[in-house]
Chains A and B, each alone.
Chain A
Amino acid sequence: MKVGLFVPCYVDAFHPDVGIATLHLLERFGVEVEYPFDQTCCGQPMTNSGCHAESAATESLFVKNFQDYDYVVAPSGSCVHHVRYNLDAVAQTDAVRKVRRSTFDLVEFLHDVLKVEAFPWAEFPHRVAYHNNCNALRGLGHASMSERRAEPFSKPLDLLHKVRGIEVVQLARPDECCGFGGTFSVFEEGVSSKMGHDKVCDQSQSGAEYVVSADSSCMMHQQGCAERAGIPMKYIHIAQILNGASA
């Protein structure tokens, strides 16, 4: 099994440790991982702004970089959601369809493809609150959604519960969007920040020491809000905990 590692632009620029943890974690399970050097972005920022034409060349590049792998894995539910469901700015060739089909978020890949049973090296004796990215939750189906009538389940929590010592606490509004929303975070700055500050309050009141998520982008926004408000919350990607980060 050959996996192409996609490190989204935000992760590359601001959270390289998340990319490193993802790489190490996959290698721990004996997966052959390659990082295509010419990768940049999946095209989501342009498409989300309605600019599909401006996204086409970036999407083509993505397909060119990743078309030869059995799987493409990324530590970001949001970017994977874009590739799987919205990579429409390019003609739908066999290669495009293949890449869309074989691109997985790290949580899905561990849970559904590798079907990982244990992370013997992982111990995280802390209280954590989990942040579901909206695209991962409602787009990829990471977990049951509070709006829908369905049996409760959660792939990320299934994985986290295999980590020794971890305690997961509930948020008052577990599925509420944090307000990042990609370019929404700057073009609709006021509402975005208000949502972020409300989210951070909820996290703080939950008694959590850490917030864990499968998406760095949401956490970058939340951390910015927490730091501005003087709230000492810590943020960590699920890849880092599963790879054995101690704090």
Chain B
Amino acid sequence: MSDTHAPVQAAGRMLHPELAAASDESEVKNGRRLDHAEGTSHPIRPSSAPEPQPRGARIRGNHRISQSEAANRFIAAPQHEKMHDERLWDLRQKRDRVMHRIPEWEELRSLASAIKEHTLTHLDEYLDRFEANARTNGIHVHWARDGAEHNRIVHDILLDHGAASLIKSKSMLTEECGFRDYMASVGIKVIETDLGERIQQLDNEDPSHVVVPAVHKLRTDVAQVFAKTLGTDAGNSNVHYLAEAQREATRPLILEADAGMTGANFVVAETGTFVVCTNEGNADLSANVPKLHIASIGIEKIIPRLEHLAVFVRLLSRSALGSPMTQYTSHFRGPRAGGEMHVVLVDNGRSKRLGMEEFWTSLKCIRCGACMNTCPVYRRSGGLSYGATYSGPIGLIIDPTFNRHKYSALPFSSTLNGSCTNVCPVKINIHEQIAAWRKVMAEHHELPLIKKSAMKAAGALLARPTLYRAAIASADVALNVLPHFVIYNRLNAWGKHREVPHAPRQTFHAWYRNNRGTP
């Protein structure tokens, strides 16, 4: 191996695997290393053993989650990282294409934002109206202050019906509530019916994305999970084989279940109805196969009238997956003959968030996941690196409302590039809220000491021009101050995967003094 390969090898972990094929002799031709574009024509060689799935953030009680630590492990699994980045980027591109077909797209976003802001500022009124109309429709309406109360209410309903098993569709709210763990602790069997969520349940892992919960897994990972839990052939990662095996195993459980649970994407106050959007039709199975249907719904899901729904339905799936609509948009307006329908309206921190001047508009979120798909940090980190219910940009601004200390580092897992804000269908100023959270964290002494002291030193020096000029002229002092500290600090974070910039002969300041003199 010649020395010319050294930089490529050193950077190997940062490059796509086919670019870093260090053992490939064809990389050098006629004594000259092939240029980069030619390098990409090498086929990806399947490795003999599947790459193990990188796991999410390390969670230890109330300790601060380190997203970057988990992200580094995700990046160190290049097959996973590459698939994840490309899959989600593809969703973003599909979203762009359908967005361009709607001339009134930006107007729709403004409208959706205005409807949500109006509703959130009249939340009590619309919730009362929904409750009254839902009761008229024959729906039992319950109110839950937090996750624990939600879980108890659902448990009581199940006990009343002697139900021992529950099929459910995907719901981020029940993730917030720790619902599956609670149900396991009281001996009720829960079966997820969304395929991705089912995979995650069988793997005992949280969803990594609000729309595509197992998007961080390769099919070889799914083959491993199914082999362990459903008895499939671990060496067979054919998607049709895996899907069929799962269907065979889960269908009987669905048919035998005592109760069904869904979430809701939208709740309509004037009609007392709610709407569930899915692509697999699994919510309809959950709602319609058993006689008992329980819907767990966050109080921010409400909209005033049915006509408003059209605005959101046009935005939701286009933003999420780049498809004009979800395959199923199911309206639920009351129990079937001989059945029972319950709605549990859950607060779980939403009222508190509504009172936060800088952050209340995060309640406009319709959980489309567009901000995750577009986020360059999320795509390279995997959703589980955030160690919280919500990942990606929206997670950075929602998670700290649940636990400021534990999630205090999350707002720093962003470059503040603003793409999230641009794709958000309800115009949440996500990147500005991320920046605002950083300020909150600094004010509440939640910054790591190294960062805080570096900023203090930088701030002190940058405010004193004479000291600053003296400091950057002296290498010893420069180690600790901006701009140099970023590049030359002792931990050498800059130089791990990058070369340091070439120091010029003189600064601009010196050049100006030498050539133009002092004023």
Could you tell me which A residues sit within 8 Å of B by CB distance? Answer: 7, 9-17, 19-20, 23, 34-35, 37-41, 43, 45-58, 60-61, 86, 134-135, 138-139, 145-150, 173, 175-177, 179-198, 201, 204-205, 207, 220-221, 223-225, 227-232
Interchain CB contact (< 8 A) of A51 among B33, B411, B442, B498: B442
Chain A hits for B238, CB < 8 A = none
Chosen A-B contacts, 15 in total, with CB atoms closer than 8 Å, are: A12-B507, A13-B504, A14-B502, A15-B504, A19-B508, A40-B461, A45-B486, A50-B411, A58-B463, A146-B96, A186-B491, A191-B380, A197-B11, A228-B10, A228-B498
- Does B241 count as interface, using CB distance less than 8 angstroms? no
Per a CB cutoff under 8 Å, which of A51, A139, A147, A181 touches B452? Answer: A51
A224:B498 contact, CB within 8 angstroms: yes
CB <8 Å contact, A195 and B380: yes
Q: Give the interface centre of A45, A49, A53, A182 by most chain B CB atoms within 10 Å.
A: A49
B459, A183: Cβ atoms closer than 8 Å:
no
| Of B10, B35, B96, the contact of A204 (CB 8 Å cutoff) | B35
Which 9 interchain pairs have the tightest Cβ spacing? A181-B415, A224-B498, A50-B438, A54-B459, A57-B463, A50-B442, A193-B497, A147-B422, A19-B508
Does B29 interact with chain A (Cβ within 8 Å)? no
Q: Please determine whether B10 and A49 come into contact, CB atoms closer than 8 angstroms.
A: no
A108 to B462, CA, bound (A): 26
Assess whether A228 is in contact with B501, with CB atoms less than 8 Å apart.
Answer: no
Alpha-carbon distance A181/B503, docked complex (angstroms): 21
Question: If the complex has contacts A185-B494, A229-B7, A229-B11, are A14 and B483 also in contact, measured as CB distance less than 8 A?
Answer: yes
Q: How far is the CA of A49 from the CA of B441 in the complex (A)?
A: 9
CB distance from B322 to the nearest CB of A (A): 13
Closest residue on chain B to residue A43 by CB atoms: B462
Q: Contact between A184 and B463 (Cβ–Cβ < 8 Å)?
A: no
Q: Pick the residue among B4, B415, B463, B506 that contacts A40 (CB under 8 A).
A: B463
Interface flags for B401-419 (1: CB within 8 Å of A; 0: not) read 0000000000111111111
Q: Which B residues are CB-close (under 8 A) to A55?
A: 459
Most chain B Cβ neighbours within 10 Å, of A38, A41, A43: A41
Binding site for A on B (CB under 8 A): 4, 7-8, 10-11, 14-16, 19, 33, 35-37, 40, 68, 71-72, 75, 81, 85, 89, 96, 99-100, 102-103, 105-106, 374, 376-377, 380-381, 411-419, 421-423, 435, 437-443, 447, 451-452, 455-456, 458-463, 465, 468, 472, 482-484, 486-487, 489, 491, 493-494, 496-504, 506-513, 516, 518-519
User: Quick one: which of A138, A147, A148, A185 contacts B486, CB cutoff 8 A?
Assistant: A185
Max chain A Cβ within 10 angstroms of own Cβ: one of B89, B103, B422, B472: B422
- Chain B proximity of A93: nearest CB distance (Å): 17
Min Cβ gap A129→B in Å is: 13
A-side contacts of B508, CB under 8 Å = 7, 11-12, 16, 19-20
Inter-chain CA distance A10–B499, complex, in Å, is 16
Selected from A134, A149, A193, A231, the residue in CB contact (under 8 A) with B415 is: A134
How many whole Å from A155's CB to the nearest CB in chain B? 17
Known: A15-B504, A49-B451. A61 touches B465 (CB 8 A): yes
Known contacts A51-B452, A220-B501, A147 near B68 by CB under 8 Å: no
Contact across chains for B489 and A186 when beta carbons are under 8 A apart: yes
Smallest beta-carbon distance A146→chain B, Å:
6
Contacts of B472 in A (CB 8 A): 13
CA distance A147 to B99 in the complex (A): 9
Beta-carbon contact of A9 and B102 below 8 Å: no
Bound complex: CA of A43 vs CA of B35, how far in Å? 40
A180 pairs with B415, CB closer than 8 A: yes
A195 to B68, CA, bound (A): 13
How distant is A235 from chain B, measured CB to nearest CB, in Å? 10
Of chain A, the residue at the smallest CB distance from B92 is A147
When the two chains form their complex, are residues B493 and A224 in contact, meaning their CB atoms are under 8 A apart?
A: no
The minimal Cβ–Cβ distance linking B102 to chain A, given in whole angstroms, is: 7
Q: How far is the CB of A10 from chain B (nearest CB, A)?
A: 5
- Would you call A13 and B441 a contact (CB within 8 A)? no
Assess the B504–A17 pair: CB atoms within 8 A.
yes
B106 to A150, Cβ gap below 8 A? yes
**In the complex, what distance in Å separates the CA atom of A229 from the CA atom of B4?**
11
Inter-chain CA distance A228–B440, complex, in Å, is: 37
- A220–B214 Cα distance when bound, in Å, is 36
Contact: A183 with B486, CB < 8 Å?
yes
Say yes or no: B71 contacts A196, CB within 8 Å.
no
**Closest A residue, CB atoms, query B33:** A230
Decide yes or no: A45 and B380 within 8 Å by CB, A13-B507, A58-B462 being known contacts: no
Of chain A, the residue at the smallest CB distance from B40 is A205
Residues of A within 8 A of B455 (CB): 45-46, 49, 51, 54
Q: Which residues of B contact A19 (CB under 8 A)?
A: 508, 511-512
Contact status A191-B381, CB under 8 Å: yes
B447 touches A228 (CB 8 A): no
Chain A nearest CB, measured from B164 CB (Å)? 45
Set of chain A residues within 8 Å of B381, measured between Cβ atoms = 191
User: Do B68 and A134 have beta carbons less than 8 Å apart?
Assistant: no
Query: With A35-B516, A48-B416, A50-B441 as given contacts, are A187 and B447 in contact (CB-CB < 8 Å)?
Result: no
Cβ contact within 8 Å between B376 and A195: yes
B414 touches which of A14, A47, A184 (Cβ 8 Å) = A184
A147 with B511: CB separation less than 8 A? no
Instruction: Pick from A146, A187, A220, A230: contact of B412, CB below 8 A.
Output: A187
Among A23, A48, A175, A183, the residue within 8 A (CB) of B419 is: A175
Known: A7-B509, A14-B503, A230-B33. A134 touches B418 (CB 8 A): yes
Known pairs A16-B508, A45-B482; A51 contacts B459 (CB<8 A): yes
| Bound form: Cα–Cα A173–B465 in Å | 40
Write the chain A residue with the least CB distance to B495. A224
A-B contacts besides A20-B508, A224-B498, 20 pairs, CB < 8 Å: A9-B462, A16-B506, A16-B510, A37-B513, A37-B519, A46-B455, A50-B440, A51-B456, A54-B456, A58-B463, A61-B462, A181-B417, A190-B68, A194-B497, A195-B377, A197-B14, A197-B15, A201-B16, A223-B501, A230-B8
